[in-house]
Structure 1
């Protein structure tokens, strides 16, 4: 998710022969974990809405607390970096990752007293602290992944780690839904929040275990020689495509999170599927699983091959493995539907000619069509239309990020901080969709809110991402 700075590439070239596969595998665990934790919010929303008898917009404050931390912590980090120097460079990437893990573990542990006290405000505080830790992880781990290997392979590594992040978001609805909602059924106490205690204590223990693993692991220490300085006076904001990209990240994260946050309630609607919470959680996994498959597809599609036939063979293998897995878990109907959606994804990739801006624009246009079906169709058509959005969300974040920092040179680090702040869209758009649903009395029509977000993404892909030269700062 972070840009690959010139400094990072210089740091790598000091040890070109070193094998970084082991450290990369260890760091990749972080991407899986924060994907898992982020998607657990989609389980918390209907659960806490039930426990505290909240309106949907109030339940969406879960996402506001979570993604608001991204903005506040990133802003504080940006200010500190400009005035005092980069804190991660001071303590090292390894120690920065450990700090993020510990803070996130504290946030998870606070779910226990929040549930015992039955306090919604305490839950929001715990989520804010948890997300603060994940923000620190984002700041430290993303550039570290870029450094762990040859510069020419950095984009491929970032795509693969993002795919592992999506794997976390895929399994979270299944595991989290079972632990939280099945626990409710077991104790026959729908007014209790106790079923969230053990899952989040388990997450806290896992995060601390990873922190210990990172501490004892022989990870290379990368230190800056201050060859690249942060540009003063927010010089990065002179670039039009960056400013528009910041808005685009805001829209994308807001739209993606808003859709994922409403899916369980959407699948429960009688006119859509009439599913119970646990079953709805399984189909939520399709939404996030689509993002994972799409990112694997994107990583292969945007990679450089001497012979394109190898590219198509790998994509075919990914499709076949996906079909077999879904057939063995869910059955032939779900497997065939997923295969059809993957074929549609491939067609849109071809329309985009594997060019980042063009591909982003066509993916966003496809999501707009799917959201229209979600808003106005019923039954399985509406259900599978919204599930398919995950597959087309897949490449959007890394593609927007890459387009936004293109050609920024010395301003890249500053731009990266600004783009991370824009993740605050996940704190603002979901409550807005919840308010529209409550005000209109129609959850389906509320999907027009994220549709507006994807309309902007389509504009950015086709037009707004074009780089225009500016006067030297």
Structure 2
């Protein structure tokens, strides 16, 4: 995705223990959990293919097309708290199975949506994202407990890499399976007789049915595997304190930590900027003065955008062992701003590759902002993690805002919206550049 919440942030507010110690069982369980990371990366990134497809099928404005991301990422905000309560009640393993089943139902809803209209598609996106949200809350902690605590970081890197692999494969796969049909311009579509318009719209809408039914089946298979797997039991022990007081004896709240509040804004804007660029990239590459690519051909380049994030994570892992997270974050944000400005004011291949290269800069941003925002929260770490997860709703709001400006001032100029998002991230990185050297707040 778009990027997902860090497993370490979820586990930091709890004490975990393992009910089974068999190494082979842990390896099998890790394979299943890694598949989950891959699947939700694939499902999230497929939105970038479906947005231009549905925009063409239903002759939508950019604002109307961005309702896809609004419904999808809006689920993070609405479902996160209920998901936490559900997991607490039924347990992590049952919660993951529930999330997979709900996500499968969301995928299956794409079949009737193809014959029912855009509104049912939006419902399907919301249901699908609700399942993914529950799945994330349930599955993330397993990565830290499936093996030796000393190698938890390597396991996190592995699962995150497979998440990025999913986001990289999805656009190319979606372009092949969904965008390979006949594409008509708005003028060509309007010139068709009414009967042919209906037939063309039905044919193009039906292109999503087969792929999403296959995804529904895959999710159900994973649900069965997860239900049958002998996974470690994670016990969440609530922190018990007689009173919520600081060292000075005064009451405090999670929102009294300024770096957390600014970090939540950073997560909101980062996810929004990343998702917004991915959502408009196919249409941007289709512009005559940029690359004039068909939707199917442009979809392959969206894979490069998300693939850059995968490569950048491994580069960042090495670099940030010597460079402070804040400075690395500020550098990447500054590079993103420059690249977006090149895409706004440029033309041809230079503008195309500039926007695609933002994906490489995005790589370290989510985990870096997340960890910086949670630093030294102590007993508020759990609450802070919840606040940051809810901030992912930026993926619903920012693309919607850019869609409005794309309709008003043109698609290329509308990319100033994600540029503004990265300006705040630059500020956040610079403000807390010395966070790990001294108390910066």
TM-score (norm 2): 0.87
Q: How does 1:125-204 map to 2 (within 5 A)?
A: 125-184=123-182, 190-192=200-202, 193-204=205-216
2:192 is matched with which residue? none
CA distance in 1, matches of 2:242, 2:314: 33
Distance 1:275 1:302, change over 3 A: same
Q: Would you say the 8 A contact 1:50–1:190 is kept in 2?
A: no
Q: Whole-Å Cα distance in 2 between the matches of residues 395 and 470 of structure 1?
A: 21
CA contact (8 A) 1:258 1:430 kept: yes
C-alpha contact (below 8 Å) 1:231/1:414 kept by paired residues: no
Residue 292 of structure 2 is aligned to residue 274 of structure 1: yes
Contact kept, 8 Å, 1:366 with 1:392, in 2: the verdict is yes
- Stretch of structure 1 that moved more, 457-466 or 214-223: 457-466
**Which residue number in structure 2 is paired with residue 59 of structure 1?**
65
Shift of 1:354: 2.7
Moved more, 17-26 or 195-204: 17-26
Shift of 1:229: 7.6
Listed as ranges, the gaps of 5+ residues in structure 2 are 184-195, 245-250
- 1:30-89 per-residue CA deviation (whole Å, 9 max, x = no partner) reads 111111011111111111111111101110110000000000111444xxx6xxxx5423
Q: CA deviation at 1:163?
A: 1.6
Against the structure 1 CA distance between its residues 228 and 182, is the aligned structure 2 distance closer, same or farther, given a 3 Å change threshold? farther
> Which runs of no fewer than 5 residues in structure 1 stay unpaired?
304-352
Partner SS for 1:138: helix
The answer (yes or no) to whether the contact 1:239–1:470 under 8 Å persists in 2 is no
Deviates more, 1:401-410 or 1:64-73: 401-410
Secondary structure of the residue that 2:288 maps to in structure 1?
Answer: coil
CA contact (8 A) 2:145 2:232 kept: no
Report the equivalent of 1:460.
428
CA distance in 1, matches of 2:397, 2:291: 28
Residue matched to 1:248? 266
Contact 2:285 2:293 in 1 (8 A): yes
The structural deviation recorded for 1:301 is: 3.8
Q: How does 1:320-335 map to 2 (within 5 A)?
A: none
Shift of residue 28, structure 1, vs aligned partner: 0.7
The residue that corresponds to 1:110 in the other structure is: 109
Contact 1:46–1:59 under 8 Å retained in 2: yes
Give the direction of change, closer, same or farther, for the CA distance of 1:135–1:465 in structure 2 (3 Å limit).
farther
- More displaced, 411-420 or 456-465? 456-465
Query: For each residue in 1:386-415, what CA deviation from the matched residue of structure 2 results, as whole angstroms up to 9, or x when unmatched?
Result: 010111101111111111111112111111
Instruction: State the Cα distance separating 1:449 from its structure 2 match.
Output: 0.4
Alignment of 1:280-299 (within 5 A): 280-299=298-317
Residues 226-270 of structure 1, C-alpha deviation per residue, up to 9 Å, x if partnerless? 356899798221211111000000000000000000000000111
Q: Distance in 1 between matches of 2:162 and 2:131?
A: 19
Say whether 1:35 aligns with 2:41: yes
Kept in 2, the 8 Å contact 1:228–1:410? The answer is: no
Please state if 1:362 is matched with 2:331: yes
- 2:355 aligned with 1:386: yes
2:100 alignment counterpart = 101
